[in-house]
A and B are shown apart, each in its own frame.
Chain A
Amino acid sequence: MAFAQSINGGLRRIPAWTIYIVGVIYAGWEFWRALNQMGPYLVEPINVLERSYGEVALILLVAGLAVTPLRKWSGVNLIKFRRAIGVTAFFYVLAHFLVFAILDVQSVSRVWEEIVKRPYVTVGMASFLMLIPLAVTSNNPSIRKMGAGAWRKLHKLAYPAAVLGTIHYLWLVKGFQLEPIIYCVVVLGLIATRYVPWERQRQPA
C-alpha cells in the first residue's frame, strides 16, 4: 500500500476546488471552439457541443461512483474530491441541457414535446431532475441540517441518475455502437460493488 500512500500524499496538496476551475475552463474552452468552429466543431458545432458536454457529464458521474470502490480496493483516497466531481458533473448536465434546449431545439414548446414524446429524452430529463437536489445539498450546512443518514440516503439518487444517463446515451445512437454499452456496463458494475459482498483483504499481522 506504499504506492497508494504516496499518491494520497501527493493528492493532499491539490485543493478540491481545482476540479471546479478545470471543469469551468474546459466547458468554456469547448464553447469557444464551437463558436469559432474549430477542430471537431468545424461543420456542425451545435450537435457536437451537445454531445461533448453530455459525454463529460457521464465521465464525471462514473468518476464520482468510482471513488469508493477505488479506496476499498487500492487504498487511493479521492474522497475529498467527490463533492467537486459530483457538482461539476451536474454543471455539465445542465450545460448539456441548455445546449439541447436553446441551441438545438430552440423552442420551449418543442422542448416539452421532446421530453414527453421521446423516451430517450424523458430518461435524460429524469436523470437531470434527480441530480438537482443532490447539487443543491452538496454543502456542509445541508448535511448538518438533514443529518448524515438522511443526506446519505438522498445522495444514493446518484445511482439511478447515472444509470438513466447511460440509458439515455444507449437509446439515442443508431445501430450497434460500443461506447454507450461500455458506459452502461461500467456504471452498473460500480454500483454493484456497493451491494455485492466482498472479502476484506487481510492485513498482514
Chain B
Amino acid sequence: MAYRWNNTLTKADITPKSAYLNRRQILAGTVGLGAIGLAGGASAQGNMEPNTLEEITSYNNYYEFGTGKNDPAQNAHQLVTSPWSIKVDGMVDRPGDYGLDDLLAGLSVEDRLYRFRCVEAWSMVVPWNGIELADILAKVGVQSGARYVAFETVVQPENMIGVQRRVLDFPYVEGLRLDEAMHPLTIMATGIYDEPLYNQSGAPIRLVVPWKYGFKSIKSIVRITLTDREPPTSWNKANAREYGFYSNVNPNVDHPRWSQATERRIGGGLFASRQDTLMFNGYPEVAPLYAGQDLSVDI
C-alpha cells in the first residue's frame, strides 16, 4: 500500500543538508523569498522550497511544553522517548502494546514534502519521513464496524511544564474519520530531513494530515484506538465554536477571531508578504472525502 502518493518533486529537489544548514547565511543581504523560490525546485505545487531544519524545530506549538512558540524547543529535551510503546486498542484484530520498532517493522518509510498550515495562519513546507497510516492500520487489522481512529499524546507531567499549567485538558487527543486516516496523504512521521523527529516536532512518532490545520497532526503518539463513534478532540473540547472535528484548511471559512484567507510562509523575515491560503491546503485530491458535506457547517 505504500507509495500511493508521490511528490512532483523528487529527493534531488530537496535542499541538500549543507545548504539548509547555511541558508540563513546565504540569505544575508538578499531580500524576500522570491529569490529562493526561483532557486529551489519550482513546481506545479507553488513554492515548495522546504523550510530549514532550524525554522521547523524552533517555531512550534506543543502546549505540553509551554504556549510560546519557542517554548517547545527550550523545554522538550525533557521528554523521554525511549523506550516507546503504542497501545493499539478498540475495534482491531490484533490489539496490544506495540513497541515502536515492532509496530513499524517491515513498513516503508517514505519522503513526503508537504505544506503545513497552522490554524494561526502561518505555514511551512516540511520534508517529512513517514509511513502511510493505512499501512499501520492494515498491520493491526481494522474491524468492519470501525469508522474513526482516535489518537492520544503521551503525558509525562514531571517532564512537561505545560501539563502542570493545564492550558488544555491533557492528554492531548485527536481523531480522524477512517476514510481520512486511510487516505494516501495521511502519514505517521518519524523524521524530518532524514533525521529522527526532534522532541518539539513530536518525537518519536506523530500524525501528519497535510490538508488539515496543524493541530490535527497530533504529536508523540502513545495510543491508537479504532472506534465506531466520533472521538473527542482536544481543541474542540476547549472551544467547539472555534475548532471543529474536521478542521480542514479552508480559506472560505474564517476562524471566529481571525481570517483564514491568507497565510504567512515562515522564513521570509520581517517583510514577508502574505499568500493566499489554498482549499485543503492545496491538496484537492481529498475533496471526494467530503462529497455531500457542507464544509461551512462541518468545520
- A-facing mask of B42-60, CB < 8 A → 1, else 0? 0000000000001100110
Q: B257–A118 contact, CB under 8 A?
A: yes
Quick check: A177 and B167 within 8 Å, CB to CB?
yes
- Measured between beta carbons, the chain B residues less than 8 angstroms from A114 are 258-259
On whether the beta carbons of A42 and B257 are closer than 8 Å, the reply is no
* A120 on interface, CB distance cutoff 8 Å: yes
Asked if A120 and B257 sit within 8 Å, CB to CB, the answer is yes
With an 8 A cutoff between CB atoms, is B78 at the interface? no
Residues 113-148 of chain A, each 1 if its beta carbon lies under 8 Å from chain B, else 0: 110011110000000000000000000000000000
B270 touches A45 (CB 8 A): yes
Complex formed: what's the CA distance from A120 to B24 in Å? 35
Total interface residues on A, CB under 8 Å, equals: 31
State whether B67 touches A42 (Cβ < 8 A). Answer: no
- Cβ of A175 within 8 Å of any chain B Cβ, yes or no, is yes
Q: Contact between A176 and B272 (Cβ–Cβ < 8 Å)?
A: no
Chain A hits for B225, CB < 8 A: none
User: Do residues A42 and B269 form an inter-chain contact, with CB atoms below 8 A?
Assistant: no
Q: Mark A38-69, 1 if CB is under 8 A from B, else 0.
A: 00111111111100000000000000000000
Checking A37, A106, A172, A175 against B269 with a beta-carbon cut-off of 8 angstroms, the contacting residue is A37
| Nearest A residue to B166, CB-CB | A176
Q: Is A103 an interface residue (CB 8 A)?
A: yes
Give CA–CA (A40, B55) in the complex, Å.
Answer: 12
Min C-beta distance of B202 to chain A, whole Å: 17
Docked Cα-Cα span, A117 to B258, in Å, equals 8
Chain A residue numbers with a CB within 8 Å of B168 are 175-176
| B122 with A103: CB separation less than 8 A | no
Cβ-based interface call for B279 (8 A): no
Determine if B270 and A103 form an interchain contact, defined as CB atoms under 8 angstroms apart: yes
B11 interface contact, C-beta 8 A: no
Number of interface residues of B (CB under 8 A): 30
Q: Which of B63, B120, B264 contacts A175 (CB 8 A)?
A: B63
Q: Is B69 an interface residue (CB 8 A)?
A: yes
Q: Are A44 and B59 in contact (CB under 8 A)?
A: yes
Chain A residues with CB below 8 A from B69, complex form: 43-44, 47-48
Within 8 A of A (CB), among B85-119: none
Chain A residues with Cβ below 8 Å from B269 are: 35, 37, 45
Against B, the Cβ 8 Å flags (1 = close, 0 = not) of A155-199 are: 000000000000000011111111000000000000000000000
Kindly state the separation between the CA atoms of A173 and B148 in the bound complex, as whole angstroms. 30
Question: Are B238 and A175 within 8 A (Cβ)?
Answer: yes
Question: Would you call B270 and A43 a contact (CB within 8 A)?
Answer: no
Q: Inside 8 A of B70's CB, which chain A residues have their CB?
A: 40
A85 lies within 8 A of chain B by Cβ = no
Instruction: Give every chain A residue within 8 A of B55 (Cβ-Cβ).
Output: 42-43
Q: Check: A78 CB closer than 8 A to any chain B CB.
A: no
Q: Quote the shortest CB–CB distance from A100 to chain B (angstroms).
A: 12
Q: Which residues of B contact A (CB under 8 A)?
A: 24, 54-55, 58-59, 63, 67, 69-70, 120, 122, 165-168, 235, 238, 254, 257-259, 264, 266-267, 269-274
18 pairs, CB–CB < 8 Å, chain A vs chain B: A34-B270, A35-B269, A42-B58, A43-B54, A43-B58, A43-B69, A44-B122, A45-B270, A46-B270, A49-B270, A106-B274, A110-B259, A114-B259, A120-B257, A172-B257, A175-B167, A176-B166, A176-B168
Q: Which residues of A line the B interface, CB within 8 A?
A: 34-35, 37, 40-49, 103-104, 106, 110, 113-114, 117-120, 171-178
